[in-house]
A and B are shown apart, each in its own frame.
Chain A
Amino acid sequence: MLSVSPVFFYLFAGLAIACSLLVVFKKNPVSSAFSLVLVFFAFAGIYALLDAHLIAAIQILVYAGAVMVLFVFVIMLLNADAPSLDIARTSAALKVAILAGCLAMLAFFVVAFKRMSPPAPLGPYTAEAVEAAGGNTRVISQLMFSEYVLPFELTSVLLLAAIVAVVAIAMRNAKKPGSAGKEA
């Protein structure tokens, strides 16, 4: 398996980068959204290569499935077809600045990670230990409900706050501003 993975890695990585660029440069938001789906699939492939099958499955189910469906719904409901950042109409100086910024960041990460030896796993969750305890999926689900129960529960608080926040923003659209305050 290790002998094939470099080829597949470059395949998936290339696909991810190419599609990410399409997300940014496509003028039609729907095509951008569908390019993003491909990016998520490519990521799922990379996760699967890393033996993280659960994350790969979640990536496809949650991101490519649920999140993207919402994106497409929103785009269609808002009928957002006007390109917000038209790359052809931006000034030359801005183009150069964007390009320079991207290259600088790329150079920074290349230099930073070239100098780095691959990190040895320091925590208790080494590949062998996880394998012995019954595999990734079992370990993750058990940890989520014992050791990491606090972040798990707090996530539901976060989601509740997010729902209230979204409803508070959306509700005022339904009524005339002002009438809501008196009724409530």
Chain B
Amino acid sequence: MENLVTIRPELLGLATVELEALSPHFAVLGGAVLALVLSVVRWLQPKWSVFLVSVATALLGATLSFPGLSGAALAVFNGMMVVDPYSSFFNLIFLLSALITLLISFRYLDSEKLQHPEYYVLVLFSALGMMLMASARELVVLFIALETMSLSVYSLVSFRRADRRANEAAMKYFILGGAASAIMLYGVALVYGATGTTHIQAILERLASRGAGESVLFSVGAWLIVAGFLFKVASVPFHMWMPDVYEGAPVPITGFMTTGLKAAAFAAFVRVFLSLGYGKGLSEAVETNLHHILWVCAVMTMVVGNVIALTQTNLKRILAYSSIAHTGYLMVGLIAAPRGTEGYSSLLVYLAAYAAMNLGAFIVLTLLAGKGDAGLNLHDLSGISKKNPVLAFSMAVFLFSMAGVPPTAGFVAKYLLFYSAVQAGEVPLVIIAVLCSAISVYYYLRVLVYMYMRDPIAGATSARVPVWSVMALASMVIVTLQVGLLPSPLVEMARKAVAGL
């Protein structure tokens, strides 16, 4: 029996190259702590100083993530974390959505009379949690990252303290989210019991070499972990929290949740999914049974999301149910990925495109929202095109993109996703997905009908649009159309990102 080596000082230092690779994480952590300190320095006007520091942090983090897109994978901290093109790709999604969220929040917080500094700090902390989730290669690190993200977001959801719906939403989200985390943690413990390790790579190796995948312990653990993730991505039957939370949260945070949170959950989901041996034929419980379970979940998610969205009249709830529906499409990609030639890259393209168009839609919503998030019913949008043609046009672009109409990012993303699913032989699933997205056109276009074909309601004044929001809005419109017309740079980026998985 060999002796255990427990003291390994060499693990405690970081080489220069590792520090460089981790620079986005350090930047965001440092920025968050600096912002926290600044929020108590009264004479510096915390409202402004913290806002500027947070915006600069998100920008800096995104800039530092760029080199990672084409770099080689580098495992740090004894392989617990990896910095590779995959994590850099997601870092960009997280930090850019955090940036946009910060930019549109300033005026929103002012008009809602909410306090500023902690809000920005919490956005940065949740972005840090997301970045760690995308880089984690060890289940304990993954769990801690997940909780860092979730705790910050729970608090952000409850930010409109005076509002009853916000309180209800935050409470619901906190309790259900806590339960889902506990379920996932129990699954992690069982998988550790079955394989003797929590390292994602090592789990896969032990599954392959020792046949641990056949044990009941492993199957139950794997299912529980997947159930935890299904909650985080809000797949049916774990979707009940989502519409209420989306409605109760401040509008910019809802936008952040639909993009950052969803992308983070999928980023970690894919890594763990691979580690459980999906698509490798190692374990029947994962290969066939889990496939069938996910298949049913994907179909239910698409149908329930789209059908319930038809009956909604509040824009936030429409987008919440549409977000559930999009989770369904993403799950189609997840199921099909190991057997298609494109692998997980179509999933990444979809997440990036979805982030752009959804953030855009929420910028418009933030600008339209009245006191206490009123004025977001379909009726309130009547004739917006006459008073505010720019907003109406941008919203139209985002809605067409969500419906998947060319030449927008949504069309390209959906096309790639469904194409890879067809290649993988999931034809019935794709047929259902296409039919569901045909249903979705109805409720997206209904918003357009209200905006363009109704008379303006009397008394409503056109809101003053701040320059930050215009910049954010314009960039999202450009990204949505640009990816729609020239998708190859994004597709190439995504291909590179998944190459090393």
Whether A associates with B in a native complex is yes
Residues of A within 8 A of B (CB): 109, 112-113, 115-117, 119, 121-126, 128-130, 132-133, 138-139, 142-143, 145-151, 154-155, 157-158, 160-162, 164-169, 171-173, 177-178, 180-182, 184
Complex Cα–Cα for A169 and B152 (A): 11
In the complex, what residues of A have CB within 8 A of residue B129's CB? 161
Q: Given A165-B155, A171-B118, A181-B109, A151 and B80 touching (CB < 8 A)?
A: yes
Given the complex of chains A and B, what is the CA–CA distance between A150 and B82 in angstroms?
12
Question: In the docked arrangement, what's the CA distance between A109 and B151, Å?
Answer: 30
B216 touches A164 (CB 8 A): no
B39 at the interface (CB under 8 A from A): yes
Q: List 28 A-B contacts (CB under 8 A).
A: A112-B219, A116-B216, A121-B196, A122-B210, A123-B196, A124-B4, A126-B1, A129-B3, A132-B4, A138-B6, A139-B6, A151-B140, A151-B144, A154-B145, A157-B148, A158-B144, A160-B33, A161-B122, A161-B128, A164-B118, A164-B122, A164-B152, A177-B114, A181-B109, A181-B110, A181-B113, A181-B115, A184-B115
Q: Are B217 and A116 in contact (CB under 8 A)?
A: yes
Contact assessment for B212 and A122 in the assembled complex, using a CB-CB cutoff below 8 Å: yes
Given contacts A146-B9, A171-B115, contact A161 B4 (CB under 8 A): no
B187-221 toward A: CB 8 Å interface, digit per residue (1/0)? 00000011111000000001000101001110110
Q: When A151-B138, A164-B122 are in contact, do A130 and B4 touch as well, CB less than 8 Å?
A: yes
**Residue B117 CB within 8 A of the other chain:** yes
Cβ of B112 to closest chain A Cβ, rounded Å: 8
A172/B161 contact (C-beta < 8 A), A119-B217, A122-B212 known: yes
Given the contacts A122-B195, A184-B47, A169 and B155 also touching, CB distance less than 8 Å:
yes
Contact count A vs B, C-beta below 8 Å? 148
Judge whether A177 and B161 touch: CB under 8 Å: yes
Q: Complex Cα distance A132/B4, Å?
A: 8
Take A151-B144, A161-B129 as given contacts and tell me if A146 and B6 are in contact as well, using a CB distance cutoff of 8 Å.
yes
Report chain A residues within 8 Å CB of B147. 158
Question: In B211-239, which residues have CB < 8 Å from any A CB?
Answer: 212, 215-217, 219-220
Task: Provide the residues of chain B in CB contact with A181, threshold 8 Å.
Answer: 47, 109-110, 113-116
SS of B interface (majority) = helix
Candidates B29, B115, B118, B217; contact of A157 at CB < 8 Å = B29
Mask: chain B, 114-143; 1 = CB below 8 Å from A; 0 = not: 111111011001101100100000101100
> Nearest 7 A-B pairs (CB), nearest first?
A122-B196, A165-B155, A123-B196, A168-B118, A142-B6, A150-B77, A178-B113
Q: Contacts A112-B216, A168-B118, A172-B115 known; A146 to B12 CB distance under 8 Å?
A: yes
State whether A157 and B3 are in contact (beta carbons under 8 Å apart), knowing that A119-B194, A164-B118, A166-B155 are contacts in the complex: no
Most buried by A among B4, B8, B129, B154: B4
Do the beta carbons of B151 and A158 come within 8 Å of each other? Answer: yes
Hey, which chain A residues are within 8 Å of B8, CB to CB? 146-147
B94 part of interface (Cβ distance < 8 Å): no
Residues B1-60 near A (CB distance < 8 A): 1-4, 6-9, 11-12, 29, 33, 36, 39, 46-47
Query: B162 an interface residue at 8 Å Cβ cutoff?
Result: yes
B159 contacts the other chain (CB 8 A): yes
9 more contacts with CB within 8 A, not counting A122-B210, A168-B115, A181-B114, are A112-B216, A113-B217, A125-B196, A138-B6, A154-B145, A158-B144, A160-B33, A184-B46, A184-B117
